Amino acid sequence: MLSQLKKDIRVVFERDPAAKSLLEVILCYPGVHALIGYRIAHWFYKHKLYLLARIISQIARFFTGIEIHPGARIGRGFFIDHGMGVVIGETTEIGDNVTLYQGVTLGGTGKEKGKRHPTIGNNVIVAAGAKVLGSITIGDNVKVGAGAVVIKPVPPNSTVVGVPGRVVVQDGVRVGADLEHGKLPDPIANLLEQMQKRLTALEEHVSTGHPPTPPECGSP
C-alpha cells in the first residue's frame, strides 16, 4: 500500500502543475484520498467481503465527493484531477495512465447484469463533465471532450466530443463534422432567411405577373 501511495503521489506531480509540495498533495488532493479508500475497499471486495468494501467506499465518497465502486479495476498511473462528482461503476475497467476530471461518470445504461460499465484503454483523458455509458470500449490514447456523452465504442488515437459523442479526430486527421462552438449554425436565422426569399419571390409574382422563381432545394 505504501509503495502504491508513492506512485499515486508521483503521478500528481507529473500531471498537475498546481502541486507544490508533498504535504499539500497528501492533505489536499481528494483524488489521492479516493484512491487510498478504493484500494482498501477493493482488497475486501476481492476477498468477498462486499458489505465492508461498500462501507469503506461510501466513507471515501463522503469525504472526497468521488464514488469508486470497490469492484472496479484500475490500472497504474491513474489520476483524478479535482474530482468532485466523479462516479466509477462496478464493472468498469481502467487501463494505465488514465486521467479523469471533475464530474466524469463511467456508468451503465440500465439494470442489466454482468459487464455493464465501460472499458477504458491506456493513456486516456476524460475531460470535465463527460459521461461514458454502457459496456463499451474506449481505445488507447483517446481524448473525450468536456460534457461529451459517449455511448458507442471509440477507436484508439481519437478525439470524441458532443452529445451524443462523435469522433472528430482520428490518428491526427479531422473527420466528420467540425463542432467548433463559435461556428455552430443558427437554425432561426436560416429559417428567417428562407422566409425572406419566399416573400421576395411572391412580391415579384404579384408585381410582374410572372411565376415566382422556385425556391432552392431544402427551402420551406
pLDDT at position 213 is: 60
Buried b (16+ CB within 10 A) or exposed e, 9-28: bebbeeebeeeeeeeebeee
pLDDT in the model for residue 220: 47
Predicted pLDDT of residue 179: 47
pTM: 0.74
Sheet holding 119-120, edge to edge: 73-74, 93-94, 119-120, 137-138
For position 19, what pLDDT does the model report?
Answer: 87
CB atoms closer than 10 angstroms to residue 108:
18
Divide the 220 residues of the chain into consecutive groups of 10 and give the mean pLDDT of each group: 82 89 91 94 95 95 94 93 92 94 90 87 93 94 92 92 85 63 61 86 78 54
- Predicted confidence at residue 172, as pLDDT, reads 73
Strand ranges inside 47-182, DSSP E: 67-68, 73-74, 79-80, 87-88, 93-94, 99-100, 105-107, 119-120, 125-126, 131-133, 137-138, 143-144, 149-150, 158-161, 166-170, 173-174
Cα 1 to chain center, whole Å? 29
pLDDT at 183: 53
